[in-house]
């Protein structure tokens, strides 16, 4: 009778060793795949958030200075009671001038003549929040060393009639000088409203900034891009655009008339000798910080940078990269992943400021 034979100790140990190697390899591959998926998912979220935030800012900037049938705010006059015989000219509605008489005080909460400074189609502040109206409560204030960006334009859709308690524009296609700003819903006798030639449009004023914290509970503690928007009654509604935006930086592209890059205005382009090109071509030849915009130059484009930050620290990861942008150099040295996105946006309605 033959004796039954089984595995010897040596064979059993070899089998266990091979099995252990296979298990360790499978666990390692799973761990690496999971880590790669987590990183890819974080990067994809950053990209998606950045695209959305930029898609909100870009069309606003492209339309900055659009005032219905005109892109020349110098033609506008502020009126009250529908009387066009007494008015405040556009130059007297600038922030540097005394508060516009007849404009309710609620429209001045974010700054002197802030709501009606139509000449400043785009403006901003560099590395500081300078609006007189404070950020919304509960966000920890504005984030330090970030820019603000303000855009003024007309709404794309005309209104059927004027509305009291809303800052609006009366725009005329055939009479460029008959452009009015009003807040009491009273229209002048002429020009009369015509669907294709004389329209009422709401005035849009929006200011983008970065808050310390997001108001979205799931992403609390994360910086966020916010916007203050002029609404009825002269109030500025403060809403969150996108959490996870850590920094907003902007620079304005101006047309200096130096198209050959020799440091001076090209010959024949400054006949009055005031240092400003007489007939700018709409080409950005120099970029300046938001609060360093020289008076009189045409702003033709805006560079926008958004620094996106992940919502959670990543174990074993340190962001030691140095980000150089908008005159800044930032090395985070923490466990959050980041993505820096930028875009140069052309202003379709650029004009001389």
131-185 pLDDT, tens digit per residue, is 999 999 999 999 999 999 999 999 999 999 999 999 999 999 988 778 999 999 9
User: Which two three-digit tokens encode residue 12?
Assistant: 């059993």
The pLDDT of residue 3: 59
Same domain, 106 and 174: yes
- Model confidence band, residue 13 (pLDDT cutoffs 50, 70, 90): confident
The pLDDT of residue 353: 38
CA distance 256 to 172: 31
Would you say residue 115 lies in a domain?
yes
> Which residue, 190, 211, 243, sits at the end of a domain?
243
Distance of CA 306 to the CA centre of its chain: 9
Would you say residue 268 lies in a domain?
yes
Same domain, 206 and 236: yes
Same domain, 198 and 111: yes
Mean per-residue pLDDT over the chain, rounded:
90
Distance of CA 26 to the CA centre of its chain: 47
Q: Are 207 and 114 in contact (CB under 8 A)?
A: no
The pLDDT of residue 47: 93
218-233 pLDDT, tens digit per residue, is 788 899 999 999 999 9
Same domain, 194 and 277: no
> Is the confidence at residue 340, as pLDDT, over 60?
yes
- Model confidence band, residue 266 (pLDDT cutoffs 50, 70, 90): confident
> Is the confidence at residue 352, as pLDDT, over 60?
no
CA distance 202 to 167: 6
Would you say residue 37 lies in a domain?
no
Same domain, 174 and 82: yes
- Model confidence band, residue 333 (pLDDT cutoffs 50, 70, 90): very high
> Is the confidence at residue 10, as pLDDT, over 50?
yes
Q: Residues 258-285: what's their mean pLDDT?
A: 85
The pLDDT of residue 7: 66
Would you say residue 262 lies in a domain?
yes
120-134, 204-218, 272-286: least confidently modelled range: 272-286
Write the DSSP symbol of residue 55: H
Would you say residue 47 lies in a domain?
no
Write the DSSP symbol of residue 318: -
Q: Are strands 198-211 and 179-182 parallel, antiparallel or unpaired?
A: unpaired
Same domain, 264 and 323: yes
73-88 pLDDT, tens digit per residue, is 889 999 999 999 999 9
Sheet with 245-255, side-by-side order of all strands: 286-289, 245-255, 298-309, 338-346
> Which residue, 243, 276, 295, sits at the end of a domain?
243
Same domain, 71 and 137: yes
Total domain count, the chain: 2
> Which residue, 243, 268, 302, sits at the end of a domain?
243
The pLDDT of residue 175: 83
CA distance 147 to 142: 10
Same domain, 295 and 272: yes
Would you say residue 166 lies in a domain?
yes
Same domain, 99 and 194: yes
- Model confidence band, residue 339 (pLDDT cutoffs 50, 70, 90): very high
Same domain, 197 and 275: no
Same domain, 236 and 251: no
Q: What percent of the chain stands above pLDDT 70? A: 95
Same domain, 258 and 229: no
Q: What angle do CA 109, 239, 219 make, to 5 degrees?
A: 135
Would you say residue 257 lies in a domain?
yes
The range of the structural domain enclosing residue 339 comes to 244-353
pTM to 2 decimal places: 0.88
Give the residue from 135, 106, 289 showing the smallest Cα distance to 207: 135
- 88-94 own/partner pairs: CB under 8 Å, 24+ apart: 90/118, 90/119, 91/119, 93/117, 93/118, 93/119, 93/181, 94/119, 94/120
The pLDDT of residue 81: 95
The pLDDT of residue 193: 92
Would you say residue 280 lies in a domain?
yes
282-321 pLDDT, tens digit per residue, is 889 999 998 888 888 888 999 999 999 998 888 888 999 9
The pLDDT of residue 26: 79
């Amino acid at each position: 009778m033959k004796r039954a034979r089984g595995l010897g100790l040596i064979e059993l140990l070899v089998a266990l060793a091979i099995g252990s190697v296979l298990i360790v390899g499978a666990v390692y591959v799973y761990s690496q795949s999971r880590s790669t998926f987590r990183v890819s998912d974080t990067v994809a979220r950053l990209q998606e958030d950045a695209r959305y935030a930029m898609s909100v800012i870009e069309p606003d900037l492209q339309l900055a200075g659009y005032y219905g049938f005109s892109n020349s705010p110098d033609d506008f006059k502020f009126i009250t009671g529908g009387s066009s015989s007494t008015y405040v000219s556009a130059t007297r509605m600038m922030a540097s001038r005394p508060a516009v008489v007849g404009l309710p005080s609620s429209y001045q909460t974010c700054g002197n003549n802030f709501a009606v400074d139509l000449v400043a189609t785009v403006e901003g502040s560099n590395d500081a929040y300078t609006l007189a109206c404070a950020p919304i409560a509960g966000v920890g204030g504005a984030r330090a060393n970030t820019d603000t960006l303000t855009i003024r334009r007309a709404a794309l859709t005309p209104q059927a009639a004027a509305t009291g308690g809303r800052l609006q524009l009366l725009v005329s296609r055939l009479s460029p000088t008959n452009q009015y700003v009003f807040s009491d819903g009273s229209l002048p006798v002429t020009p009369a409203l015509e669907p294709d030639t004389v329209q009422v449009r709401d005035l849009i004023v929006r200011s983008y900034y970065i808050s310390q914290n997001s108001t979205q509970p799931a992403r609390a503690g994360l910086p966020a891009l916010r916007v203050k928007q002029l609404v009825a009654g002269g109030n500025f509604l403060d809403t969150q655009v996108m959490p996870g935006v850590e920094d907003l930086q902007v620079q304005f592209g101006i047309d200096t008339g130096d198209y050959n890059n020799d440091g001076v205005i090209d010959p024949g382009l400054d006949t009055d000798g005031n240092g400003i090109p007489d007939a700018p071509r709409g080409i950005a030849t120099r970029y300046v910080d938001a609060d360093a915009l020289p008076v009189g130059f045409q702003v033709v484009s805006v560079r926008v940078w958004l620094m996106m930050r992940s919502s959670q620290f990543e174990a074993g990861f340190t962001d030691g990269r140095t980000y150089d942008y908008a005159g800044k150099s930032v090395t985070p040295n923490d466990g959050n992943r980041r993505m820096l996105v930028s875009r140069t946006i052309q202003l379709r309605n650029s004009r001389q400021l």
